[in-house]
């Protein structure tokens, strides 16, 4: 399975490591080139530097062919926005890390 992880903090790294154990083809996206480089040197994965809100970055990572797009930056609103973009670009499944419970009331509207 092909997975893209946006945001390479503690949560993102943990997700990447677990996806690798499950034999996923993993691509990571982050604004910090050094974080990307460190992961590329440690694992057999692909990476792109960017915010994830950039159409060209998403296309270059193959979002249209991805099984799972996981946004786990520290910003709830951004994670939701980028998952909507990924879904519009063809990602089969999207997962947004959302920590603020206020957003859960609107989950059904966001899915539409």
> For residue 106, what pLDDT is reported?
67
SS3 annotation, 37-104: HHHHHHCCCEEEECCCCCHHHHHHCCHHHCCEEEECCCCHHHHHHHHHHHHHCCCCEEEECCCCHHHH
Compute the radius of gyration of the chain from its Cα atoms.
13
| Spatial distance between the Cα atoms of 25 and 111, rounded to a whole number of angstroms | 26
| Spatial distance between the Cα atoms of 36 and 96, rounded to a whole number of angstroms | 20
pLDDT digits (tens, 9 = 90+) for 12-39: 999 999 999 999 999 999 999 999 999 9
pLDDT digits (tens, 9 = 90+) for 62-73: 999 999 999 999
């Amino acid at each position: 399975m092909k997975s893209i992880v946006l945001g390479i903090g503690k949560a993102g790294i943990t997700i990447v490591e677990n996806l690798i154990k499950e034999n996923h083809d993993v691509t990571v996206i982050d604004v910090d080139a050094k974080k990307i480089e460190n992961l590329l040197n440690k694992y057999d994965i692909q990476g792109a530097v960017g915010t994830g809100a950039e159409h060209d970055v998403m296309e270059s990572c193959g979002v249209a062919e991805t099984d799972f797009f996981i946004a786990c930056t520290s910003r709830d609103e951004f994670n939701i926005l980028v998952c909507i973009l990924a879904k519009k670009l063809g990602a089969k499944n999207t997962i947004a890390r959302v920590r603020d419970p206020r957003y859960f009331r609107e989950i059904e509207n966001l899915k539409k």
